[in-house]
Structure formats: structure tokens, C-alpha cells
Amino acid sequence: MADLETIRKKLEKYIIENNHTFREISLKIGRKDSYIQQYIKYGFPKRLNEMDRKKICQLLNIPEKELLDDDLIKSAITPAPYEDEDIRTTTNEFISLDIYATRPDANIYQNIIGRISLNFIEFGHWLSGNPFDLKIIKFEGDYMEPTILNGSLIIFDSHINSYRGDGVYVIKIGEAVQVKRLQQTDSQTMMLKVDSPRYQDINCKVKDITIIGRALFQLSGRPL
């Protein structure tokens, strides 16, 4: 039996045995350099399309059936090959992300208020790790103006849940979820900085701050 995880492990084994790298295989099949790593390590995309699978099997000199999972064989359905790169980047390689509110709650991930889909090939460079660590939160408040506007969507990497140097983080203090610039002043204290001159920066004990993620980008709510 060969499920999807088994297929990914088999591919990893074949690549290593043939003295190739994930990056090398990705580029040789016409993909971006992180494509094979994302597929093997994180299962994205869920299944290789027919054209990619054929190219990989030719490069590694293995039978195509080695990379066919049982469900695909049973259903006798093979994903249609892409005729060109434009089609490839606009079809089924999308990641769907929930949008969370900053309402006080024991778990912000219970406050789903929307959803957005992103084409992974176009937006996957926003983080270097697992694409499913990418989260979106709706920012509320004016304390980060003019950098971040009230109502903007903040895209953050939820895998970063510890201080990684000065930057903008999604944090939790008590029950309040906030977006602040963090600057460590000593081993016990963190400076919570704001961009608006109407508010004051504050010092806070490190033990009182829970880092939910590091902010990467914003989708601004600024009217045109």
C-alpha cells in the first residue's frame, strides 16, 4: 500500500540515493527552488501533477508507478498536465487561510471571521517554512498608524512564537491580542513600541507576553 505520505518518503529516498537535492529537482522540472521541499516536507501540493511526476521519474530513472498513490490508481484519475506556466500558476495550487479577529479570547483561533485564498507559487515566498504556519488576523486600533491602519489584515508566521529580534509581532497580554513592535531591553523586560505619537511605549515583563507570531505583511484597509 502506498498512501500520499509514503509516496513523499519514497521520492525523498530516490532523490538522496541519486545524489540530487530538492532544489535541483525543482529547478529541473521548471518549478521554483522550494517546490519539492514543500511537497516532501509539508505535503503541499497534496499530489504531484502528471507532468511534474513524469519529469521527476525521467530524471531519477524510476518507473512512474513508483510515485502513484493507491487512491490515484484505484480511481484511475490522473491530474491533467499543465500546458504552460500561466495555467500552472492559476489553477489548483492555492492555500486557503482563515482570518481571525483580535477579540479577547482564550484562543484567537476560535474567532474566525473570514477566509482568503492565495496562490502558493505567487505568495509562498512570504515564509520559508511550512505554508500552513501562515495566518491572518484583522488588526483593530489606531496605535500603529500610520504603518498599520485600523481594519488591515496582518499576515503573520505562527511558527515564530518566541522573540527573534526587533520587529512587529502578534502578541497576547492577558486576554488582549495586540500587534506591537518588540524590543528586548534586558533578559526580563520587553519594550512594547507603537508607531502612533498619540500613544506611549510601555515596558512589560517577558513572562507576561505570549508571542503568537511574527508579522510579515499587511493587506491595507486604506480606501482608494
Pair 98, 25 in one domain: no
Helix, strand, coil percent content, the chain, rounded in steps of 5: 30, 25, 40
Looking up residue 160, the CATH number of its domain turns out to be: 2.10.109.10
- Identify whether 128 is part of a domain: yes
Judgement on whether residues 67 and 136 belong to the same structural domain of the protein: no
Residues 148 and 52 both lie in one domain: no
Tell me, yes or no, whether 106 and 147 share the same domain: yes
* 163 within domain boundaries: yes
* Residue 63: inside a domain: yes
Q: Which of 20, 54, 88 is the last residue of a domain?
A: 88
Q: Is residue 224 one of the residues assigned to a domain?
A: no
Out of 67, 88, 109, pick the residue that ends a domain: 88
Same domain, 65 and 103: no
Take residue 65 and report the three cell numbers written for it. Answer: 508507478
Mean pLDDT in runs of 10 for the chain (224 residues)?
86 94 92 88 85 90 86 54 38 70 73 81 65 84 92 90 93 90 93 95 94 91 74
Please indicate, yes or no, if residue 99 is contained in any of the structural domains. yes
Which of 62, 88, 114 marks a domain boundary? 88
Distance CA(89)–CA(28), nearest Å, equals 17
- Considering the domain architecture, whether residues 136 and 111 belong to the same structural domain is answered as yes
Q: Is the dihedral of CA 18, 20, 26, 30 positive or negative?
A: negative
- One domain for residues 121 and 215: yes
Q: Does 40 share its domain with 134?
A: no
Residue 177 lies in a domain: yes
CA of residue 80 relative to chain centroid, distance: 26
Task: Tell me which DSSP letter residue 82 carries.
Answer: P
10-16 contacts: CB < 8 A, separation 24 or more? 10/66, 10/67, 11/36, 11/39, 11/40, 11/56, 11/67, 12/40, 14/60, 14/62, 14/66, 15/60
Task: Please tell me whether residues 143 and 67 are part of one structural domain.
Answer: no
Query: Grid cell 509539508 — which residue?
Result: 42
Strand ranges (DSSP E) for the chain? 94-100, 112-119, 134-138, 153-157, 167-173, 176-184, 189-193, 202-205, 210-219
Tally of domains within the chain: 2
* pTM of the predicted model as reported, rounded to 2 decimal places: 0.61
Residues 101 and 179 in one domain: yes
Same domain, 137 and 208: yes
Domain extent, residue 135, equals 94-219
Neighbouring residues of 82: CB distance < 8 A, sequence distance ≥ 6: 49, 51, 88, 91
